[in-house]
Structure formats: C-alpha cells, structure tokens
Amino acid sequence: MSAMSAMSADARDRILRVADLIDRPGVSRRVDLAVPASADLELDMATLEGDIRLTGVLESVVDGILLRGTLVAELQMACARCLADLEQVVAADVVELFSTPSEDSDDIDPGYEIVDTTIDLDTLTRDALVPAVPYRPLCAEDCKGLCVQCGTNRNETECSCEDSIVDARWAALEKLQLGDCDTP
C-alpha cells in the first residue's frame, strides 16, 4: 500500500473500491460521488469549479464492472463575444466498462482497468468532460459583443463606429446592384 499512501488526497478520492462487485454478475450499486479533478486536467478555455459530480450505477457484469451514469461539472468560462465571465454547468452521460487485465486480453483501454479491486475514475472523468466543454459559450443569446473598432462592450454602451462600417458596406453593395441594373 506504499504507492497508495504516496498519492495526493485528491488522487485517492478518485479511486473507488469495487471488491463487493467483482465476479458477482447482476449485483449493482448506486454511486453519488464528488470526484476531484487532477491538477493537470486541462480544459479548452475553461476552469473547473469544485469537484466533478458523478451519479449513476456500478454494475457487475461478466466482463468486469460497468459504470453507467451522468457527470456534472461547473465551469468558469468567458463569453465568446464580450469576454464577460460566465458559469457553465455541463453534463455528460457516461457508459464505461472497467475490466480486469488478463494475459490474453491486451485490448483494455488504459485507465479502465480494475486494479487491486479498485477502479480509478481519473481517465473516465477526463474522457467525458473534455468534449463536454462548450465551444463558444455566450453570456446571453443576444450578446452584442465588443466593438471591433474601439473595444467598447456593446451590451453596456452604444458606440457609433461599427454602424458606420456597416453603412459603408451597404452603400458599396447598393452601388454594385445599381450598376448591375444599368448594364443592358
């Protein structure tokens, strides 16, 4: 157990004892866990707030232990248009099989092994959370964003520069259309 005691407290909290489910197909147990993310978890433009909540069922099956559930995490992000801080709660369904490594099966995904009657939830939480991060979160559907000219947050203050660009474009377009009409 020396390897276990050398781990950080967070790493220990990601490890789940499953001795009660090994080789007992049909037996299941509900889980409701707060899983701390590992320090090296990197999310695209997002910071995890607090622990990852994992609720679901652990079921003993012939091939190992099946975890079926939902993972919920609170992320701190920035609006893609105006850069305001915003909180995003993301949820992801998970269905993963943890198996006991044996000599004739080297097809177990790394991170999904049953080791010493325990399973480590680190890989599972990463695999589920990383793709769940919103690509372009918005503080509001109708967020007006920052003015590309002067940087003003257009949700808070009106500025006139962007309108003049749009006007100029319209004028150019109108000229073009008129030109088309004139050609016989």
CB of 92 to Zn ion, least distance (A): 24
Element (H, E) at 53: strand 47-61
For residue 43, give the nearest of 97, 88, 101 by alpha carbon. 88
Phi, psi (deg, nearest 5) at residue 94: -130, 140
Q: Least distance in Å: CB of 157 to Zn ion?
A: 9
Nearer to Zn ion, 41 or 159 (CB): 159
Q: Residues in the chain, how many? A: 184
User: How many CB atoms are located within 10 Å of the residue 70 CB?
Assistant: 13
Which residue's CB is nearer to Zn ion, number 28 or number 152? 152
Least distance between Zn ion and beta carbon 85 (Å): 10
Using left for φ > 0, alpha for ψ between -120 and 50, and beta otherwise, residue 20 falls in alpha
Asked if 7 and 1 count as a contact pair (C-beta separation under 8 A), the reply is: no
Structure tokens at 151: 């940087």
| Shortest Cβ 155–Zn ion spacing (Å) | 6
Residue nearer to Zn ion on the CB measure, 111 or 145 = 145
Nearer residue to Zn ion within complex by CB, 83 or 89: 83
* Nearest CB to Zn ion, comparing residues 6 and 148: 148
Phi-psi region of 110 (alpha: psi -120 to 50; beta: other; left: phi over 0): beta
Shortest distance in whole angstroms from residue 89 CB to Zn ion? 17
- CB of 93 or CB of 158, closer to Zn ion: 158
Q: Which residues bind to Zn ion, rule: CB under 5 A?
A: 79, 81-82, 84, 139, 143, 147, 149-150, 152, 159, 161
Q: At a CB cut-off of 8 Å and minimum separation 6, what does 50 contact?
A: 34, 74
- What amino acid is encoded at 47 in this protein? T
Residue 83 beta carbon to Zn ion: minimum distance, rounded to whole angstroms: 7
